[in-house]
């Protein structure tokens, strides 16, 4: 399911994304989103797993991982697609990780909604973040994706209500935005900041960075 299109090298950074086949929605309710996010944690592990056999309740506390196979710097779930910022830390780590996530989630989704066939659009798409500027920019690109839900044309026309946009980001549970504004939550274990450059020394640094992009009317894709 997860054949890569470019060479992925240890120590390098990548933006990985995929959407539902025919642009269909792949997250239909919060249970779906929670499932995918939990998979970002349990699948990033040298230890094999079967999701239905995982401990009930708070998976992040009860499931003991052995060793991460990739480093996650940021993530965001939208209705019909997702974004991940990853660093290759083990040989084939990213490919093995995303294959586990997509295979497990597709099985769950098809069973829940009584459907068959491919859920995701072909293989995952990946961009090599080969400059420091490009890598830093990706923290804004990924975390600002949810703004499209409330202001679909903000990239072309600018933010219509900046205060509303800021509040929406701070209330959107399905990204790693919280990990960069120092909000404590159980999902924080998913993100491994130590494997990424220290672009943001404080919550204020990160929020200022995001606000700079909110004030910029065109966010490059």
pLDDT of residue 56: 66
Report the interhelical angle of 162-171 vs 203-214 (nearest 10°): 130
User: For residue 197, what are its two tokens?
Assistant: 């450059």
pLDDT of residue 48: 84
* Model confidence pTM above 0.85: yes
CB of 148 within 8 A of CB of 158? no
pLDDT of residue 58: 65
HSE (CB half, 13 Å, CA atoms) of 122?
6
Per-residue pLDDT of the chain (221 residues; tens, 9 = 90+): 343 467 899 999 999 999 999 989 999 999 999 999 999 999 999 988 888 777 666 688 888 889 999 999 999 999 999 999 999 999 999 999 999 999 999 999 999 999 999 999 888 899 999 999 999 999 999 999 999 999 887 877 777 788 888 899 999 999 999 999 999 999 999 999 999 999 999 999 999 999 888 886 544 44
CA distance 88 to 79: 27
pLDDT of residue 1: 37
pLDDT of residue 4: 46
Q: Give 160: exposed, middle or buried? Use CB within 10 Å, 0-12, 13-18, 19+.
A: exposed
Q: Please report the domains of the chain, with CATH numbers, ordered by start residue.
A: 13-214 (3.30.70.1290)
CB of 98 within 8 A of CB of 2? yes
pLDDT of residue 154: 81
HSE (CB half, 13 Å, CA atoms) of 181?
17
CB of 8 within 8 A of CB of 94? yes
Strand order in the sheet with 81-87: 71-77, 81-87, 13-19, 125-128
């Amino acid at each position: 399911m997860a054949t890569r299109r470019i060479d992925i090298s240890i120590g390098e950074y990548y933006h990985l994304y995929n959407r539902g086949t025919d642009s269909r929605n792949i997250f239909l309710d919060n249970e779906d989103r929670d499932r995918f996010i939990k998979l970002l944690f349990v699948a990033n592990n040298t230890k094999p797993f079967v999701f239905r056999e995982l401990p009930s309740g708070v998976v992040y506390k009860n499931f003991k991982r052995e060793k991460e196979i990739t480093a996650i710097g940021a993530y965001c779930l939208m209705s019909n697609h997702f974004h991940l910022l990853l660093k290759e830390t083990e040989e084939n780590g990213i490919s093995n990780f995303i294959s586990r996530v997509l295979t497990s989630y597709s099985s769950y989704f098809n069973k829940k909604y009584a459907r068959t066939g491919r859920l995701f659009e072909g293989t995952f798409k990946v961009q090599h973040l080969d400059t420091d500027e490009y890598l830093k920019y990706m923290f804004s690109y990924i975390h600002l994706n949810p703004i499209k839900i409330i202001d679909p044309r903000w990239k072309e026309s600018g933010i219509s209500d900046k205060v509303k946009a800021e509040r929406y980001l701070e209330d959107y549970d399905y990204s790693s935005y919280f990990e960069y504004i120092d909000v404590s939550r159980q999902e924080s274990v998913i993100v491994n900041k130590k494997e990424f450059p220290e672009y943001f020394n404080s919550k204020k640094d990160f929020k200022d960075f995001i606000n700079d992009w909110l004030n910029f009317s065109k966010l490059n894709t």
